[in-house]
Amino acid sequence: MEFWLPVIYMAAMGFALLVYVILDGYDLGVGMLLPWADEEEKDTMIASIGPFWDANETWIVLGVGILLIAFPMAHGIVLTHLYIPVTLMLIGLTLRGVAFDLRVKAGDHRKTLWNRAFFAGSLLASLSQGWMLGAYVTGLQSNLTGYLFAALIALALPALYFVLGAGWLLMKTEGQLQQKAIGWARIAIFPMGAGLLLISIATPLVSQTIAEKWFAWPNLLMMAPIPILTACCFGIMLWLVNRKARIERGQGWVLYVTTVAICLLVSLGLGYSLYPDIIIGQMTIWEASASVKSLLFTLFGVALTLPAIITYTIVIYRIFHGKAADLSYD
pLDDT band at 85 (very low <50, low <70, confident <90, very high): very high
Q: Compute the C-alpha angle 117/31/196, nearest 5°.
A: 125
Q: Which residues does residue 196 pair with via DSSP β-bridges, in sequence order?
A: none
- How far apart are alpha carbons 285 and 35 in whole angstroms? 43
- How far apart are alpha carbons 286 and 3 in whole angstroms? 7
- 135-178 residue pLDDT tens: 988 888 888 888 898 899 999 999 999 999 999 999 998 888 98
- Whether the CB-CB separation of 47 and 128 falls below 8 Å is answered with no
What is the pairing mode between strands 277-279 and 283-284? antiparallel
pLDDT band at 198 (very low <50, low <70, confident <90, very high): confident
Mean per-residue pLDDT, 293-297: 88
- How far apart are alpha carbons 191 and 49 in whole angstroms? 24
Relative orientation angle of helices 72-81 and 58-70, to the nearest 10 degrees: 120
Q: Is the pLDDT of residue 330 over 70?
A: no
Amino acid at 234: F
Sign of the alpha-carbon torsion through 284, 226, 153, 243: negative
- How far apart are alpha carbons 257 and 265 in whole angstroms? 12
DSSP, res 36: G
Predicted pLDDT at 141: 83
Q: Is the pLDDT of residue 248 over 90?
A: no
Mean per-residue pLDDT, 18-43: 92
Q: Compute the C-alpha angle 172/177/183, nearest 5°.
A: 105
pLDDT band at 21 (very low <50, low <70, confident <90, very high): very high
Q: For the residues of 286-316, what is the DSSP string, one character each?
A: HHH---HHHHHHHHHHHHHHHHHHHHHHHHH
Q: For the residues of 139-155, what is the DSSP string, one character each?
A: TS--SHHHHHHHHHHHH
pLDDT band at 57 (very low <50, low <70, confident <90, very high): confident
Amino acid at 104: V
pLDDT band at 28 (very low <50, low <70, confident <90, very high): very high
- For the whole model, what pTM was predicted? 0.91
What integer best gives the mean pLDDT of the chain?
A: 88
Q: Which residues does residue 284 pair with via DSSP β-bridges, in sequence order?
A: 277
With a pLDDT cut of 90, the percent of the chain lying above it is 38
Sign of the alpha-carbon torsion through 235, 238, 239, 245: positive
pLDDT band at 93 (very low <50, low <70, confident <90, very high): very high
Q: Compute the C-alpha angle 126/130/131, nearest 5°.
A: 120
Q: Is the pLDDT of residue 326 over 80?
A: no
pLDDT band at 206 (very low <50, low <70, confident <90, very high): confident
pLDDT band at 241 (very low <50, low <70, confident <90, very high): confident
Of 44-48, 241-245, 317-321, minimum mean pLDDT range: 241-245
Closest CA to 45 of 158, 159, 155, 184: 184
Q: Where are the alpha helices (DSSP H) in the chain?
A: 4-33, 39-49, 53-56, 58-70, 72-81, 83-105, 108-137, 144-172, 176-206, 208-215, 219-223, 225-241, 244-246, 253-274, 285-288, 292-319
3-class DSSP assignment, residue 68: helix
pLDDT band at 25 (very low <50, low <70, confident <90, very high): very high
**Between these two residues, 212 and 257, which has the higher pLDDT value?**
257
Residue 329's CB: how many other CB atoms inside 10 A? 10
